[in-house]
Structure formats: C-alpha cells, structure tokens
Chains A and B, each alone.
Chain A
C-alpha cells in the first residue's frame, strides 16, 4: 500500500469490474423489477449511461493528473481548505459505505444460508478477512482477482444457462406497463447503487503502471459495459423465470439458482452459488476499504496507512452491526437515501473538480 505499489491496466479493470458488479449483481435486480416491473432493464440502461458520464469525468481528470489521486489534484485545483471541506464528508460516507456492504452480506446470509448464525459472527469473520486482504496491499488484491472474477462470472452465466428450461420470454412484455415514471425511479436507484459509487475509484487509478496509463480509459469503459451487460442479463433472466414475482423476491440470482433442477443430478446447488456470489461482496468491501485507507492517509497527510487498517476495519465492523440492522430500513436507505448521499459526497466533488479543471484549461488557452 505504499507509493511503490503498482498494478497493470487489466488488473485495474478487473478490480473495477468487481467493484461495480460485486454486490450489485445480487442486490440490484430485485429493487429494479419491483419499482419498474418489466422495464427494470431499461432503467439499468439509463443508469449505465449516467455511470458512463461519471466515468468520463473521472478519466478526464485522470488524463490531466495521471500520477495524482483525487485528493492530490483537488488540492491543486481548489486549494487545501476547500479540499478538506469536500473530503471530510467523502471520508465519512466511505466508512458508512464499507459498513453498508458488510451489512448486506450479513442480511444475505441471515435470510438465505446461515439463518441461525448471529450476524455479528458472520460480519466479524468477513471483516477480519477484508482487513487482512487490505493490509496485504493492492498488488496482492490484484493478483487474487483474476481467478475469483472468473469464478464469480462463471457461476452467474452457469445459473442463467441452467435455468434455461424455465424461461418464459412472454413475461418480458409489456415493457413499461405503468409508463416511464417507475422506470426513471428505478434508474435513480441503480444510479445511486452502484453507478455513482465509481467516483471513489478515482482514488486508486494512479496505481496503474505509467506505461499502461494510455489504455486505462478503454479498459475501464469496457469493464463498465461488461458490468451493464451482466446486470441486464440477470434482470432479464429473473423476469423470464419469476415473472411478476421477480420484484418481490430478494437476491434474484440466488432465487434462480434454487430453481435449478436437471434430471435429479444437478439440484440444490444454491449454497455453492451463494458462496461464489459472496466473493463479489468480499472484493468490493476490500477495494473500498483500501480506497478509504488511502483517502484517510492522504487527507491527513500520514505516511503509514497499514497501521490504521485494523482500527478502521473495527470501526466499520461495529457500524455494520449497530446500524441498519433492520432489513426494511436498510432497503429504504439503499433505494431512497443512498443515491442522494452519493450525489452530495461523491459526485458533487467530482463535478466541481471537473468544472474547475475545464475552466482553468480554457483560461490557460
């Protein structure tokens, strides 16, 4: 995690893909189809387009300041005091964000596979693993990512193929039974989670090797397109299998895996698939914790971020087991409040810096 740690562009793209797809593949299909019905995939396309715009802003700033993180170029663009003012809420939201992902893991386990296990035991083990991963550094995370990415995406495709005998394409129609309103509402949810969160990724983009930097833009856009295609695939598959029920059943992909039944040979494989989906949560939380550590140390001008990994993880763990333990309140937070918080804490600073960078460039000409 020191300044010498570098990864290549493909590894960064795989981290980005995990960051964007990790938890959303399990969570996002249900709220989208619940709000927008069959138009859930259209809502995702709208949110994806907004995500592309945000990524364009992130990459514009990355091209202008290739060796500097978001905090470092913010100091150059708007000064130290304004940077501190913008990044204190950013850091606080990141604490909440890391905790939020682990809350979701806890809720997922509680309602699917480990119903009798106390959530604090699940969360504690996960946080211990996440903290050790982050302490190992971004190079170690990047080396692990390829195998587990193949595992996670392999299982997603496997589920979609194995439930093929249950597809009812007629369930996809009508596309927007209640008009465009619910679709825009669902797009707002998907924009808040996961697309507006990609702004935080600007903190670790300078970790890419200098020779690989020109290809980062192309790779990250490709990663975002793969993320969008995967999420649309899972939404469409869950609508085709579950029909009108797809909005009411949480964790759509897991629900699909429960329905797999092939000649009494392949059945009840949901636990295997559930654990492979958890890999996505684990990686997202690890990447976010790494970004949080980097944000805290750069904001406060500290040199050693490794020493702070355990206490920061401990704070996040305790936030995950003391806040939003009620599933309904967590759902409301994700659907209503989280997009707003993300806009204020993540997107606001990014747009401000992009505006200032563009203005300064024009003035320099």
Chain B
C-alpha cells in the first residue's frame, strides 16, 4: 500500500507541477474538464490504493446488486484477484 501511495503521489505531484502554472491561462471549459478528470483520478486512486470493490469498468453496480464483468455475469469476478 505504501508503494502504491508513493507512486500515485509522485505522479500527481509531477502532473500538478507541470499543469498548474498553465491552467490559469486556459479557458473555462478546459479548467472544468481538468477538475472533473481530477475527481475521476481521485476516485480511481481510492479503488487502487484500498482495493475497495467500488464500481469500475469491470465491475458495474446497479442498485444493491453488483454485476461483475457485465459481459459474462460471472459472480466470481467481483474485485478480481489483483496480481499486485
């Protein structure tokens, strides 16, 4: 978990150091989309660091019932055994 956190923080710091000075000079649409993408990054980062079985592209959640891997409906795939 520590390794994952360090990796994520290093990447996030690099991204923000590169982009923040330029972000002020861009349009409103760009800033809004940048914020939205950062929110998605935060959500996926939580899934990555905590291994939480939250909805993702391979685990779709509809109401209270999870539909792991929408394509096959195989219930054993929920929060698949992460190989790392």
Contacts and interface: CB of A to CB of B under 8 A. Distances in A.
B71 A336 contact: yes
Interface in A191-240: none
Contact of A326 (B26, B71, B81): B81
A325 B26 contact: no
B41 A318 contact: yes
A323 interface: yes
B44 A310 contact: no
A300 B44 contact: no
A304 interface: yes
A302 B45 contact: no
B75 interface: no
A326 B77 contact: yes
Given A308-B34, A322-B47, A124 B7 contact: yes
Nearest to B34: A311
Contacts of A322: 44, 47-48, 56
B44 A318 contact: yes
Given A120-B48, A318-B48, A321-B84, A333 B40 contact: no
A47 to B, nearest CB: 20
Nearest to B18: A310
A118 B5 CA distance: 13
A323 B57 contact: yes
Max chain B Cβ within 10 angstroms of own Cβ: one of A303, A315, A321: A321
Contacts of A311: 15, 19, 34, 37-38, 41
Contacts of B34: 307-308, 311
B13 to A, nearest CB: 11
Interface in B40-84: 40-41, 44-45, 47-48, 56-58, 69, 71-72, 77, 80-84
A241 B4 CA distance: 41
- Chain B interface size band reads 35 or more
A89 to B, nearest CB: 13
A110 B84 CA distance: 10
Contacts of A248: none
Contacts of B12: 314
B27 A304 contact: yes
Contact of A119 (B11, B69, B71, B83): B83
Contact of B29 (A96, A300, A317): A300
Contact of A304 (B26, B40, B69, B71): B26
A280 to B, nearest CB: 23
A336 B30 CA distance: 36
Nearest to B23: A307
A301 interface: yes
Contact of A329 (B41, B56, B69): B69
29 contacts: A120-B4, A120-B48, A300-B29, A302-B29, A304-B27, A308-B30, A311-B19, A314-B11, A314-B15, A314-B41, A315-B44, A318-B41, A318-B48, A319-B44, A319-B56, A323-B56, A323-B57, A323-B58, A324-B58, A324-B80, A325-B81, A325-B82, A325-B83, A326-B77, A327-B83, A329-B58, A332-B71, A333-B71, A337-B71
Interface of A: 96, 99, 110, 118-121, 124, 128, 296, 300-304, 307-308, 310-312, 314-315, 317-319, 321-327, 329, 332-333, 336-337
For the complex of A and B, the 4 pairs showing the least CB-CB separation, nearest first, are: A318-B44, A311-B37, A337-B71, A326-B80
